[in-house]
Structures are given as C-alpha cells and as structure tokens.
Amino acid sequence: MQVFRKKSGLRRLAKQRAFFWCLIALPLAQFCVFYIGVNFNSFLLAFRHYGYTEGYSFAGWDNFRRVWYDWVNNESFSTMFLNSLLTYAVTLVVGITLALLFSYFIYKKMPLSNLFRVMLFMPNILSTLVMVLLFKYFTENAIPELFDNAFGGLLSTNDTAKPTLLFFLVWTGFGTQVLMYVGAMNNIPESAVESAKLDGITPVKEFAFITLPLIWPTFVTFIIVGLAALFTNQLNLYSFYERAAPVSVQTIGYYLYKAAQGGTPPEYPYLAAMGLMLTFIALPVVFIVKWLMEKFGPRTV
C-alpha cells in the first residue's frame, strides 16, 4: 500500500511539474529569444561594421566614436536629449503627483470618485491608436473651431505641439499608476487609519505620514521604471506623426524607434552602439536613485 501511494504521489508530482513547464514554456522561450537574444545580438552589433560585399566585420570602437561625434556636433541630438529629460520631468512632477492624488481621492471614496476612476482608466481600455486619433481630431479641429481658430492646430503649431503631446502622455499614463496605487492603498491596515483618526489626524497628514510611507515601494517602482525608460520614451510621436515629427518635439526614443523601424543593415551597428552608450548612462543613475529612495524614504510615525 505504501509503495502504491508513493508511486501515485510521484506521478502526481510529475504531472504538476509537466503542467508547470508547459505553462511557462512559451513565455520563457519569448524571453530568451526577444530579450536575451536580441540584446546579446545588439551588443555584438555595436562592435561590428556592415559591408554589402563582405557582410559584418569587426569595427572596434568606430561606431561609438561616430555616436559621440554626432552627439557633440549635431544640434538636433541636443534637442532630443532635452525633450527626453523634459518628458521624464513632466511625467515625474505632474504625472506621478496627480496619479497619487487621484488614487488617494478614489481610495477614500470621495464624491465623484467613480467618475474619476472611469475617466482615468479610459485610455487603457481603448487602443492607443484609437485614443491618438480621437485626441488628434479634438486638438486639430474641435478646439480651433471652438476658439475661432485663435490657436490653430495644436499639434501643427510649434508653440503648442510639445505641451499638447505632454498632456496626452500624462493623461494616458494615469490608468496603470492609479490601478497600482489604489491597490497598494487598499492593503493599508484599517487599524492604523482608525487609530490615527482617533488621534485627530487630518486627511493631508494621513496621506503624508501613513498612506505615502506604506505605499512607498510602489512609488519607488514607478520612479525607477520611468528612469529606465528615459531614453526609450518616444512620446507617442510615431502614432501622431509617423516618420514626420518636427525636430523640435523629437525625443531620443522616437529617433531610435524611427531609425530601427526603417533602417538598413549598415545602420544597425550605429544604432546598437548608441543604445549601449545610453544604457551606460542610464544604468548607474537608476541604481543610485533606487538606493537613495530606499535609504532616505519616508517612515511611518
């Protein structure tokens, strides 16, 4: 009987392991091919040169020198870097701040909180392309007609294109953040909140000294993810302009996406070298900021 139970248990364990490996086989294969494989190939490409007759050959540091020369001497790259930094700054200061406030508003079930929940989640329910088309029609047609063409097309005017794109980025970025923040806030112990209320805590102090410290790991995650995507965020420019975005609004992420999407084999080593240099710039910043936020973050009182 014991032998039979042992064999039955082994068969059950084998089935569970087989089910587990079948479940993760496809995601694991995708991760190996499209993340590890692609990044490893990009690393190799950064040190290669492509010729139409001889194919790929070792190029040493030539691609990195070309990238550095373009960064220093091409003014358009200065504009792209500044736009990338501005995009992250607006997302950090405006986007995350408003997401925290809206999440706290919804978490406390204040009046019209359900309406805000729907309005903030709407961009995540619909396709990004659909949202871009609706937003583009609204900014290019509805607003100019409403104000008797005083503004012109918001996306086609240099003075208003960048603020309009940044507004769209912040608005469409609320959904995921609010979902995560509200989920973290709902895990706050009721006893801590009730005890603070008995001591006469105000809603502002409750947010600053109880809510924010207890959801700090989630907050840090969004800061770090934003930093990691500093040079890959293309500000939805390809959805709005395709390959014809004005230089004044372009970001490094848009440049890399456009160049890779329509590139040729001789261009890939140059792009790979640029991506590797951007990684070496962003990586230490990410780790330093993570360490600082975890070490000097708020504590509950």
Distance CA 111, CA 237 (A): 36
Tell me: the pLDDT tens digits for 54-87?
788 898 899 999 999 999 999 999 999 999 999 9
Pairwise pLDDT comparison (118 vs 22), residue with the higher score:
22
Contact 82, 255 (CB under 8 A): no
Structure tokens at 185: 């806030």
Domain ranges of the chain: 2-45, 75-295
The whole-number pLDDT of residue 172 equals: 82
- CATH class assigned to 75-295: mainly alpha
- pLDDT, tens digit, 9 for 90 and up, residues 119-163: 777 776 667 777 777 777 777 766 665 555 555 567 777 778 888
Amino acid in the structure at residue 299: R
pLDDT the model gives residue 223: 92
Cα-atom radius of gyration of the chain, to the nearest Å?
25
Cα separation of 81 and 74, whole Å? 12
Average pLDDT, the chain: 84
Spell out the long-range contacts of 189-194 with Cβ–Cβ below 8 A and sequence spacing 24 or more. 192/300
Residue 89 Cα to chain centre, angstroms? 13
Q: Over 70: is that where the pLDDT of 103 sits?
A: yes
